[in-house]
Chain A
C-alpha cells in the first residue's frame, strides 16, 4: 500500500483548495435549505495512505440530491444514497455500505493505490 508522500499530500491539498473554491461558488448560487436534514457527519482522515474526506455539499448538480460530497486525495468520488439510507460509490456500485465514510474506505481498498479520475470526464 502506498504511503502518503509529501508530493501527493501537496497535490491533494492544492486540489482541495480548488474544490473548496468551486463549492463556495456553487453554494452561493444554490437555493437556501437545499441541504438535507440528517446529512452524515463530515470526515477527514488518511486511510491506507490516501486522504479521504466527506462533507455536506449543495448545488453543483453532481450530488443527485444526496447533498454530500466525498473526495479521495482531493478528487471527487461519485457517491449515491439509497432509499434505505445506505451508500454506494461509482467504484463499488453494487455493494451498499452504511455511511459515505464506509464508501470512501471501500473505494480506497478497491483502488489499490490507483488515482481516481474526475467525473463526469471519465
Chain B
C-alpha cells in the first residue's frame, strides 16, 4: 500500500528515488503529457461554461485522480516511490529542506528567475521545459516574491472548519469549502501557494515544476482531513447540474471515473498521519 509522507520527513534515499523517478518520466516523455493535460483543462475550464479540473466542485476529485495517474507512472519506474506532500503552512520558508539541492533545488536567480541548483536546474540537462507558453526553456521560481506569505495554520484551520463542500454557482464565486481551499475566495490557500512559488508554477503549465505534485498532494490531504472533520458533509452537487460534474457523473479526460469513486483516498493510498 502506498503511504504518502510529509516531504520534511523523507530520508535521503527516499528523496533520491523520488527525484530519479521524476527525471526518468521526463526523459521518456511521459512527464510532459501530464503538463499538456493540465494546461488543456486550465484553458478550457470557465466559470460560465463547462468546468472540470478547476473552479468547480470537481477540482478536488479531478486532481486526486490526476495525482494517482502521476504516482502510478512514478511507480512504474520505481515501485517504492510515493508522492510526498508539502505542508506549506509549516514549511513556509525558502530555507526549508524542500528547496535544498538534494531535493527540488531553490529559488531562481534575480535576473531571469532561473533555478540554478538541484536536479531540475536547466544546467543539469535533465529538465527541459518543453510544454510552455513563452520562449523560456528553463525552470523558473521566485519564492515569496509575488506574495510575501504562505498560508498559516490558522488560515488552514479556518477553511477546514467550513461545513458545506461547495455551493451554487459551483465556480470561482462560490462560498463553501472547495472554493476557499482552491482560493478564489477568502483567505486563499491553493492559488496563493502557486503565486508564492512563482515561475512556471504561477502559470497554466504549472506541473512543469515538480513542486506541483507536492503542493497538490497536500491540498488532497486537506480534503481528507475535511472529510474526517465533517462526516455528515458530502460532495455536492449530487445531480442535474449543467456544465458541472455531479457526484455520479464521469469526469474528463478519463470518462470512466466519477467523483463518487474518489471520495475515499484509502482505497488508493494512506497518509503518514492516517
- A94 contacts B183, CB within 8 Å? yes
Chain B residues within 8 Å of A, Cβ to Cβ: 39, 42-44, 46-49, 55, 112-113, 131-136, 146-147, 169, 171-173, 183-184, 190-192, 194-195, 202-204, 206
Q: How long is the Cα–Cα vector from A42 to B110 in the complex, in angstroms?
A: 33
Give the chain A neighbours of B131 by CB distance below 8 A: 122
Spot the interface stretch: A3-11, A18-26, A79-87.
A79-87
Give the chain B neighbours of A80 by CB distance below 8 A: 46
* Nearest CB of B to A83, in Å: 4
Does more than half of chain A's interface fall in helix, strand or loop, or is it mixed? Answer: loop
Give the chain A neighbours of B194 by CB distance below 8 A: 93-94
Chain A residues within 8 Å of B, Cβ to Cβ: 64-65, 78, 80-84, 90-96, 110-112, 114-117, 119-120, 122
Q: How long is the Cα–Cα vector from A25 to B195 in the complex, in angstroms?
A: 38
- A83 contacts B113, CB within 8 Å? no
- A95 contacts B133, CB within 8 Å? no
* Nearest CB of A to B182, in Å: 9
Q: Nearest chain-A residue to B47 (Cβ)? A: A83
Would you mind naming 21 contact pairs between A and B with Cβ atoms under 8 Å apart?
A64-B46, A65-B46, A78-B133, A82-B172, A82-B184, A83-B172, A83-B173, A90-B39, A91-B202, A92-B202, A93-B202, A93-B203, A94-B190, A96-B184, A111-B134, A114-B134, A117-B133, A117-B134, A119-B133, A122-B131, A122-B132
- A95 contacts B191, CB within 8 Å? yes
Q: How long is the Cα–Cα vector from A118 to B18 in the complex, in angstroms?
A: 34
Give the chain B neighbours of A64 by CB distance below 8 A: 44, 46, 49
Q: Nearest chain-B residue to A80 (Cβ)? A: B46
- B133 contacts A116, CB within 8 Å? yes
